[in-house]
Structure 1
Amino acid sequence: MEEINEEQKNIRELQGELREKIEAIDLECEQLREETMMVRQQSANTQIRLAILKARQNHDFAQASHLTSTL
């Protein structure tokens, strides 16, 4: 009986440790999602800036103005 109690105690401890690890992984996943969204937004803004430069280079100032307003 004492062996069973000890095993149950060990199982509960392991379950607690696993819960903590899962929570840490969930937190890291959320942080990575946020970082990914930031990188995507920065990339989109960079593409718009490049399009603005290209429009200016081609003397398409209306397009450059429109793109500038989207930033």
Structure 2
Amino acid sequence: MNHLSNVLIRKRRFKKMKRRNTKDMESKLQKLREEMQEIGAEQRSIREGQRKVREKFEAIEAECQTLKRETRLVIQQSAKNKIRLAIMFRIFKAREEGDFAKATELTRLLREMVVRDNMLMRAPASDE
């Protein structure tokens, strides 16, 4: 009987341990679920932040392209103005020297440049 009572005592202890282990496992699983929910929320927040950064970057990139295009146009216009001024100066010099044929030719060239530039300005802008 002594042996039988020892066996019963051991069985009861095992059942208690098993119940305690099950409760411990359930509490650990609950903690893991809560942590997973927190991690999921953090990941959604990170994805949202990345999306916003990407949108800002794309807007900045578009603005940069616009500024590059405008800068290129300003540089081209400046170069054209320098050429026109040089031609005007040569017209002035030719007239001053009495070379009216040369002054007439340079004036014709200047007019052609102005007409061509005006036509280009009226033409629809093509996206590059």
Quickly name the TM-score band, shorter chain normalised: 0.7 to 0.9
Mapping of residues 47-58 of structure 1, within 5 Å: 47-58=82-93
| Higher RCO, 1 vs 2 (CA within 8 Å, ≥6 residues apart) | 1
Residue 116 of structure 2 corresponds to none
- The higher radius of gyration belongs to 2
Residue 13 of structure 2 corresponds to none
Equivalent position amino acid for 1:68 in 2: L
Name the CA distance, whole Å, in 2 between partners of 1:47 and 1:18: 43
Residue 52 of structure 2 corresponds to 17
Unaligned stretches of 5+ in structure 2?
1-35, 114-128
In structure 2, which of residues 103, 106, 110 is the aligned counterpart of residue 64 of structure 1? 106
Q: How much identity, in percent, do the aligned residues show?
A: 47
Name the CA distance, whole Å, in 2 between partners of 1:22 and 1:70: 44
Deviation per CA, 1:13-46: give whole Å up to 9, x if none.
0000011001001100000010001100110011
What's the TM-score, normalizing by structure 2?
A: 0.49
Unaligned stretches of 5+ in structure 1?
none
Q: 1:17 to 1:44 in 2, by over 3 A?
A: same
Aligned residues: 71
In structure 1, which of residues 37, 40, 44 is the aligned counterpart of residue 75 of structure 2? 40
Shift of 1:70: 8.4
- Report the RMSD for the aligned CA atoms in angstroms: 2.0
What's the TM-score, normalizing by structure 1?
A: 0.85
Name the CA distance, whole Å, in 1 between partners of 2:57 and 2:50: 10
